[in-house]
Structures are given as structure tokens and as C-alpha cells.
Structure 1
Amino acid sequence: MRNILIPTDFSDNSMNAVKYALELFKYEKCEFYIMHAYEDAIHKETAALTRENLDDVTEMMAAKSAAHLEQILKDIHEISPNPRHTYHSISANNILIDEADSIVNEKNIDLIIMGTRGKSNDKNITFGSQTLQVLKYVQCPVLAIPEKQTYTQPKKILFPTNYLIPFKRRELKLFCDMVAPYRSVIDVVYISKSTKLSIRQEDNQLFIKEALCKNEINFKTLDSKNVVEAIEQYVKDHPIDMLVMVNTRESFLESFLYPSRVDQLSLDLKVPFLAMQNLKRDA
């Protein structure tokens, strides 16, 4: 049984992510949790919001949220009446990342699926602020779906890595099981000026090979100093259906000095993006 959380802001982009999720996991038994967190929406009602009417505005937002979620569930049953799938709606007076983190722990969520951008749909950014917050801070793998992404079976997958991260078995197993029904080919690409691997890197490469044993794997090396540019060029040059990367926790100082590679990904990212979080969770 797969437990999947899909946050929504009721935008077309978030509904597109729902449709992608239903197709991707059509062969698996899944519990889908469709969640809307509306605390930020309450405080955006600045013109009408006062301390005196806060409770009334909150009640109004709660009612809107519940009604929209009910409509989404109706739409889902019409789009994909899959007997393997069960659906739940969650409406919460909370901020997105806090509510997502809570549900991840409470429901033992395997994967979060959401659009790369939400209602604001700013064309000058790759990830909307909400999506970026979830990618960075929620302790769960995240699959981000680009705007208007039509579902394509993930036949060809790019997985860039430096082999320095001690990968989490649970997350690699999720990735393996998710794409195995499609007989996916995974290009595990080492981006470096040196082709020589250390003992640690060799051990981690072997771990990847064993964890992804249900899939065909191509181990490749790209001669480049710029990881982001190398990834972008590879996606342009090859028929890639999904990009997979691992997000790591950096120090506070590093987070101020260096933008993350997730932040740097260009506007040309037009394929689903799976971010594995490399965080300790129950197996």
C-alpha cells in the first residue's frame, strides 16, 4: 500500500499534478490524501480582516476549502474510478509546510506530489514559493509536476549524483518500485572532472545498483565542473521523462552563502522532478 499526499491550492496546476499522480500509480494500491492548508489565505484577506471578524473569515475560508475539496474528490472519481485507489480530503487552518510535515508523520506518507507552481504561476521562476518550501523542508520525497505536463510513462530517467551521499534505502525502494512497472531505463550520471571514484563512492554506486535492481541502469560520467548546466544540457540532449535528484541538509552558513541546486534549476525544466530528501525515517 502506497500513501501519497497531494497538496492543492485549487489551481489548474495543482489539479494537473493530481491527474499525473493517478496515472503514475494506476497499477498500485494507494491511499491518496488531498490536502488544502488555508491559514495563509485567511491573512491575505487584509482589506476585510480585523480582530473582530477573524473568526467569521476563518469559518468562511474553512467552508470554501471543504467545498473545493469535495468537488476535487468528485472529479477524481470521474477521471479515474480505480478500485486500487482510496481518497481522503484534509482541510486545515495551518500553513502548508507545517500541515504537510504533520500528515507525513501521522499517515506515514511515502511521497508528496504537487505542481511546480500554484495560483501565482509566475513564469519567471521554476518552482513556486510553496513548492520550494516543501522541497526544502518537509521530510518526505517530493515529485513536482510542471505546468501543463501531460502524462508520459517514465521510460527514461536521469539521476545525477556525486555518489557521496549515503542514500536511504526506503527512498531508493520507493523510486525503484514507482518506475519498475514501466521498465524504465535509469541514467545514473556522475558529473565531475575526474572519472576516478573513491572507495566511498564505489560503495554508494553499488548500493544504488542493488536498490534499483528491478530497473535497467546505465552508469555514466559527464566531464563538467558546473552540475546545473550539465543537468540542463543532458535533459535537452536526451528524451528524459523524469529528473531525480537528492536534496541534502546544508549548514545555516552554507544556506546563506550558496543557493541550492533546486533554486538554480532553469526555466527550461519541463519534466517531472523527483527530490529525494535523504532524511532518516522509519524503514
Structure 2
Amino acid sequence: MTETSATPHVSYVFDGGFALPTMVSVFSLLQHRPKDVEVQFFVTEDVPKMRATVEKLQALFPGAEIKTTVMTLPDTLSRDFIGYPVAGFARLLLPDYLDKRTIYLDGDTWVRDDIGELYDQNLDGRVLGACLDAAFLKLLWRSKRNPKLKHRRLVEMRAVDAIAPSEGYFNAGMMVVDIPALREQGLIEDFTNITRATTFWSDNGLLYHDQSYLNTVFGAHTKRLDPQWNAIWANRSASHKAIPAELRAKFAASQADPAILHMTSKPKPWIKPVLRGGRFVWGQKYRKVLAEFRERVGADAWAQLST
């Protein structure tokens, strides 16, 4: 097991289009961990509109260290990814900039607990820590009851398992990445090989881009963590009756009070209210955090960030 430092490190990788939700995510993180934490923004382009907000967050939480790093991207990431931001694949380059354990977070996350516990997770010798994707899990168990079931996620999951069977398809929107362990175990090149990752995606016609690449190549090197640390809309999908009761029970805490709520798909609650059943309440709660964030950073920073 790689020794963790006393100060948790958190990484966000994003472009200008995801600046606003990422700043809200960091605000929520710092509310629960206001000091003794390092937050590093890895941006795939210069994002002037976020500077005032970053300065304000640093002033609001002086006990935290906040850094911004502009990434140099390889030519491979100049390709058209059919609407998928290059920042997704760019997160694979984190070991080029860091040599420590880090928590990677997507910008569409709402942190609701102290991430110190997550950072200190024992990965049992594995190089990544991640959570099962509840939507994929539901489809897996539905397909066991109905072998004729068809769904795009199911096709993806079966393609991944056919290449490298793992302990279950995980969501890459939150990952504990043990970079020293990646180096020690000779896996660093597999993780940072952007050409291989993008080619794997395009050659196999996958929908979930680098996430399915990570599941295929690192599925066996990833410890599945408590689902509270990446609860996709509070993991409502994990309540499906096709899933065995003992497995459903493991998701109960993440549904009632998730440590990290992950707001995947559309609509995004920072753009407009979410009216879809099962997500409405969480969307409304998030928008209260959004309103508090707007008030705390001030009108000028908000005006720049929301352009």
C-alpha cells in the first residue's frame, strides 16, 4: 500500500465550458474540508473567466491550497470526439503533472462530506479506487432475468468484459488515483497512453470513451469503493428489483445521504431545474448550494464565470 500524505490532494480536469459547475463542486468540497487540502485545477485551455472565482475561493478558505495548471495536450487530442470534450481523455495525463495520490473528480459532482476519508482509503495494493456504476449494475441484473434485453450500456459492458472481465463496471467520474503505485507496478504507460485510449474508443465504437478504456485496462487493478463516494443521482438505479437484495442494501446509505452526488446526463441543474422524477429533490437541494455559492463569491466573479 502506498503511503498517503497528511494533506489530501484533489484534481479537476476541465475546459472553459465546465468551469462554473467545477467551481461549485470545489466550493462544496471546501465547505466540508476548509483546510488541510490541496485542490488543483488542470485546464485544457486558458480560462480567464474563472480567475476571479478562484481568488475568491482562496480568500474564503485560506486554509486550503488552490492551484491552476494549464495542460499541454498531445496532437492526439486535437481530434473530433463527436461532442465529447478532450478534457475527458486529458485526465489520463495526470501522472505527467503529479507524483502523488490524488482524488480525481468530475465537475458535475456535489461533495457532501469530508474527502479526507476517501483520500485515505486502503486500495489493497490496487492502483485505482472507484465506485460501481449503478445504471450499468441495474442493466446487468436485468439482463440476467431477461437474456433478450437490449440497451446501449449493456452492449458496452459486455464488450468491456469480453476483453478483460473485471469486478463490475465502474464510473470514472470519481477515482482515487495512486500515481506512485502506477509507477511501481509498471502501469503508468498504460494509464497515460492517450493514443491507445482514443484508438481503443474509436476502433471499438464505444460510447463511454475513456471510461470504458479504464474499465478494460484497469478493471482488475481497481478497488470498488463504497458507493457513497460516487452516487449517480443518489444511486436510484441500484434499487431495481432485479438486483439481489443483499447488493441493493449496500447502496442504501449512498441513496439516503451520499458523500458525493454525481449529476450525470442532462439537464444539468446549474443550467435549469431538474424536473425528472427521482432527481427533482436532489436537483433542488443542489440549486440551494448553487445560490449560496453565487452569494459567497459575489456578483462580479459570478458574472464572469457564468458567461
Tell me the TM-score normalised to structure 2 length: 0.32
Q: Choose between structure 1 and 2 for higher RCO, CA contacts under 8 A separated by at least 6 residues.
A: 2
Tell me the TM-score normalised to structure 1 length: 0.34
